[in-house]
Structure 1
Amino acid sequence: MDIVKIARTAGLQILLDARIGRETYHSVSGSLSSLQRFADEVRAATADEFAARSEQPERHEA
């Protein structure tokens, strides 16, 4: 799940604040309606990932 992409799609503004080594630090701002869209998209993506895992056959260790 690309959380930054979901945030942008929801209408949130993403700012790159800093890059230290391999870590990046971002600030996010936007309206409450954008935050609600973001939350809805994260919930849907999580449900899709859970469903995809549930559909995979179980592996049994021998």
Structure 2
Amino acid sequence: MNILELAADAGMLVVLDGKIGRTEYRSVHGTLDAFQRFVHALESALANNEESDGSQCRSSLCAESSSS
């Protein structure tokens, strides 16, 4: 699961601030309610990954967010 998609699906605004080489710099903005929805979605995604395959959980969440 891509954490940027989770943030957008929760109602947060994901902004591309800049790109240097292959590194992208992003900001995420939103209300407290949107942030709470994001946290709940992230908790659910982590729980689902731990039940199926805990070893892939962290790499799939972090790798997609830094290079997409």
Alignment TM-score, normalising by the size of structure 1: 0.82
Task: State the percentage of identical aligned residues.
Answer: 37
Residue 28 (structure 2) pairs with residue 28 (structure 1): yes
Q: Rg larger in 1 or in 2?
A: 1
Q: Looking at both structures, which has the greater relative contact order when contacts are Cα pairs under 8 Å and sequence separation is at least 6?
A: 2
- Please list every run of 5 or more consecutive structure 1 residues that lacks an aligned counterpart in the other structure: 55-62
> Which structure shows the higher helix fraction?
2
Q: Aligned pair count?
A: 54
Residue number in structure 1 paired with 2:59: none
C-alpha root-mean-square deviation of aligned residues, in Å?
1.0
- Please list every run of 5 or more consecutive structure 2 residues that lacks an aligned counterpart in the other structure: 55-68
